[in-house]
Structure 1
Amino acid sequence: MPIGSISSSPDAVGVAVVNYKVPVCENHHEIMENCQKIARCIKGAKQGYPGLDLIIFPEYSTQGFHPDKWAEFTTTLDGPEVAVFKKACQEHKVYGIFSITGEEHPEGKNPFNTLIMITDEGEINYVYRKIFPWCPKEPWTAGHETGVAIGPKGLIVGGTICYDTNFPEVVRDTVMKGAELVVRIQGYMYPCKEQQRMVPQMRAWENNCFFAVANMAGKDHVYSYFGHSNIVDFDGSVLAECSTGPDEMTYATLSLTAIRDARRNWTAENHLYNLLHRGYTSEAGGHPTCCFDFFKEWVKNPKEAARKGETLTRDADAPEDASGQWIQAPPPSALAAATVHKGQSLMSTSKAAASKAQKGDLKGASAIAAHPEKANGHATANGSGLYA
């Protein structure tokens, strides 16, 4: 791939990753102010990188993660925060990947940690919910599936979130669904820097895929984040990388022809083909069967697989000396109270707030998000179809 260009081409997808400064928000108005900052970042990126097709922001870049108020800051996919992002992507003709922490759960359970992709027409075309919340600290409800979507210029994009990518199974499943670019949005802090800089390169090489990582930088109430957002070629080499500075951005182009040619014509390094055609040099077609007992049992009898795994680790959720340090899930009554504080449900007011945000009425959107009981008469949404 060419390195150092700010352009792209019909064959090359221009991708930017942002070392976004971790937001420390104390109320809904500050969250909406932060969303406007993200929108301004999109505008500046498109001005600076005319070839930009896709811009990626880190986990926690929208609402941050407040250790005491996180349950109050949930939103929905049609909420005012997302409306700001939709408008920015449409206005500047760029795809964007954004973080929602958290996305309100339809059954009143703990929120999801969610990644969304918005097209250059301002529509959500991909939603991914974090499969492996970072235990024992994160309170999010676990997602249960990987997925992909068509990105700019036909590039097939799949998402992962932070801790997910430490599990090679997540990336492999995403790639086997067609992903050519795997995106990792993360909020990784010190002292995890060295391991997490290596992981994207290995996952890219294992899966013959592009990898793009957007990480936080700066400090919030709890952690300091090391940045180093980066873009990795499908051979595992780093195309572009930020340093540790907050709000740094870097850019690279990804060739559609190159990755598709490699997947079709590479031999020894074609890990996707060789995985399902073991030993084809000695037997035509090779062996497609799974020879890994752990995976067979995990699918057939997950509880028994978990029991056997516990013999290697432990049979409790966390050691006793760590249990008191968790960010505990609030009781259902507390989640309900937080929802009532924002109106009978965020889903019942988010369209009104989103409408104001779309029109640039930041104060109006913030007021509705914080005090939806004052939004009588506005259109409502029941959220149907969001979780299908």
Structure 2
Amino acid sequence: MPTGTISSSEDMVGVAVVNYQVPVVNNKDEVLANCFRIADFVDGVKRGYPGLDLIIFPEYSTQGFHLTKWRELSTTVPGPETEIFSEACRRNNVWGVFSITGELNLQGNPWDTFLLINNKGEIVLNYHKINPWVPMEPWYPGDRTTVVEGPKGIKIGAMICYDANIPELSRDLALKGAELIVLIQGYMNPAREQQRIVTQVRAWENLVYLANANLAGRDKTYSYFGHSSIVDYDGTIIVECDGTPDQVTYALLSVSSIRDSRKNWTAENHLFNLNHRGYSIETLKGGLGACPYDYIQEWSSNSKSFMKKTESITKFKTAEKRVLARTKIR
């Protein structure tokens, strides 16, 4: 896709990812001050890139990753934080992706939340992280993937940080029609190279654009490696930041191009080939569509049995997770 321009067009969605400096906040007033800083970024990036349609901020960019004050920094959605973000989107006529860690939850611990706000200031997508990072994150896990129509009609799916390491999640988004997967991360060293590879693989195996915004800099616990990027649906990196905090990069994504490729590609059309196995020998029947993967069948029919099976080949058992949750997450 084209790079080197600051404009966009009817077919091209202008997307910016922000290598946001990890915030260190200790109370709600400091959180709100940081929200206004994020809103200033929206203003500035729109001035600099007038073709901007969608701006993306990382996981933990609003409240930071505070290992002891996470509960008292949690908030409601909508709430005072989202009011600031919504106003920034309205006045700049852009869509934005923002992070709330956490969103208060009557079922238990707060959620790790991904919000997509449209150019009218409306929250159009509220996704809760399905795979919190074991054993450090206290967030209550979400239970569904989400895809919505975004700017200029591009279909957007949501992932948060560790979600990207679970290939089933991005595949589910793609099969729900996602053309752009937005991945927000608060990922730290030493996992930089693995995560750069993961973003490319997830894009290629699902024929999907992937826009990844990651934190940069250091808080009191971790060093975040940045490298926010936008990846083409053939797995090549279109643009990428380095590790410098507060960098922004921008690219154009063609809606018609990805739809044409999904319609006309053959050997590289992984979404079609997933369940059209044996197409060449089963032409009249349209391929062998039955699921050949035992773990998917067992997981869907007997989740407890599947959990025991996975624990039998791992050392990190459920009981140990509970102990760590009690002793490390306060």
TM-score bracket relative to the smaller structure:
over 0.9
Cα distance, 1:277 vs structure 2: 0.8
Structure 1 residues 324 and 234: alpha-carbon distance in aligned structure 2, compared to 1, 3 A threshold: closer
User: Where do residues 169-184 of structure 1 align in structure 2 (5 Å cutoff)?
Assistant: 169-184=168-183
Q: Secondary structure at the match of 2:105?
A: coil
Q: Give the Cα separation in 2 of the matches to 1:69 and 1:228.
A: 27
Q: Give the Cα separation in 2 of the matches to 1:189 and 1:165.
A: 14
> Are the aligned partners of 2:19 and 2:213 in contact in 1 as well (CA < 8 Å)?
yes
Q: Give the Cα separation in 2 of the matches to 1:290 and 1:296.
A: 8
Deviates more, 1:133-142 or 1:310-319: 310-319
- Name the aligned partner's letter for residue 293 of structure 2: F
> Are the aligned partners of 2:135 and 2:325 in contact in 1 as well (CA < 8 Å)?
no
Question: Which string of whole-angstrom CA distances, capped at 9 and with x for unpartnered residues, describes residues 165-215 of structure 1?
Answer: 100001001111110000110000011111011101000000000000000
> Are the aligned partners of 1:136 and 1:326 in contact in 2 as well (CA < 8 Å)?
no
Q: Give the Cα separation in 2 of the matches to 1:324 and 1:230.
A: 32
Cα distance, 1:149 vs structure 2: 0.6
Q: Secondary structure at the match of 2:127?
A: strand
Aligned Cα root-mean-square deviation (Å)? 1.4
Q: Which of the two has higher C-alpha Rg?
A: 1
Q: Give the Cα separation in 1 of the matches to 2:212 and 2:132.
A: 18
Corresponding residue for residue 308 of structure 2? 307
Corresponding residue for residue 41 of structure 1? 41
Corresponding residue for residue 88 of structure 1? 88
Corresponding residue for residue 298 of structure 1? 299
Corresponding residue for residue 233 of structure 1? 232
**TM-score (norm: length of structure 1):** 0.82
Q: Secondary structure at the match of 1:35?
A: helix
**TM-score (norm: length of structure 2):** 0.97
**Aligned residue pair count:** 327
> Are the aligned partners of 1:148 and 1:178 in contact in 2 as well (CA < 8 Å)?
yes
Structure 1 residues 43 and 292: alpha-carbon distance in aligned structure 2, compared to 1, 3 A threshold: same
Structure 1 residues 91 and 324: alpha-carbon distance in aligned structure 2, compared to 1, 3 A threshold: closer
Is the aligned partner of 1:23 residue 2:23? yes
Deviates more, 1:62-71 or 1:164-173: 62-71
Cα distance, 1:160 vs structure 2: 0.3
Corresponding residue for residue 317 of structure 1? 318
Corresponding residue for residue 370 of structure 1? none
Q: Secondary structure at the match of 1:104?
A: strand
> Are the aligned partners of 1:179 and 1:209 in contact in 2 as well (CA < 8 Å)?
yes
User: Where do residues 1-388 of structure 1 align in structure 2 (5 Å cutoff)?
Assistant: 1-107=1-107, 109-284=108-283, 285-314=286-315, 316-317=317-318, 323=324, 327-328=328-329
Q: Give the Cα separation in 2 of the matches to 1:203 and 1:18.
A: 20
Q: Secondary structure at the match of 2:72?
A: helix
Cα distance, 1:313 vs structure 2: 1.1
Q: Give the Cα separation in 1 of the matches to 2:36 and 2:238.
A: 29
- Name the aligned partner's letter for residue 72 of structure 1: E
Q: Give the Cα separation in 1 of the matches to 2:326 and 2:306.
A: 28
- Name the aligned partner's letter for residue 295 of structure 1: I
Cα distance, 1:318 vs structure 2: 6.8
Q: Give the Cα separation in 2 of the matches to 1:223 and 1:318.
A: 27
Cα distance, 1:326 vs structure 2: 5.3
Q: Give the Cα separation in 1 of the matches to 2:316 and 2:94.
A: 47
Q: Secondary structure at the match of 1:203?
A: helix
> Are the aligned partners of 2:276 and 2:287 in contact in 1 as well (CA < 8 Å)?
yes
> Are the aligned partners of 1:208 and 1:234 in contact in 2 as well (CA < 8 Å)?
yes
Cα distance, 1:26 vs structure 2: 1.2
> Are the aligned partners of 2:184 and 2:213 in contact in 1 as well (CA < 8 Å)?
yes
Question: Which string of whole-angstrom CA distances, capped at 9 and with x for unpartnered residues, describes residues 78-112 of structure 1?
Answer: 210000000000110000000000000023x1100
- Structure 1 residues without counterparts, runs of 5 or longer: 331-388
- Name the aligned partner's letter for residue 257 of structure 1: S
Q: Give the Cα separation in 1 of the matches to 2:187 and 2:106.
A: 28
Corresponding residue for residue 381 of structure 1? none
- Name the aligned partner's letter for residue 300 of structure 1: S
Cα distance, 1:316 vs structure 2: 2.3
Structure 1 residues 131 and 326: alpha-carbon distance in aligned structure 2, compared to 1, 3 A threshold: farther
> Are the aligned partners of 1:60 and 1:99 in contact in 2 as well (CA < 8 Å)?
yes
Q: Give the Cα separation in 2 of the matches to 1:262 and 1:270.
A: 8
Identity %: 55
Q: Give the Cα separation in 1 of the matches to 2:48 and 2:195.
A: 28
Corresponding residue for residue 367 of structure 1? none
> Are the aligned partners of 1:101 and 1:112 in contact in 2 as well (CA < 8 Å)?
yes
> Are the aligned partners of 1:138 and 1:327 in contact in 2 as well (CA < 8 Å)?
no
Cα distance, 1:3 vs structure 2: 1.6
Q: Give the Cα separation in 1 of the matches to 2:90 and 2:122.
A: 8
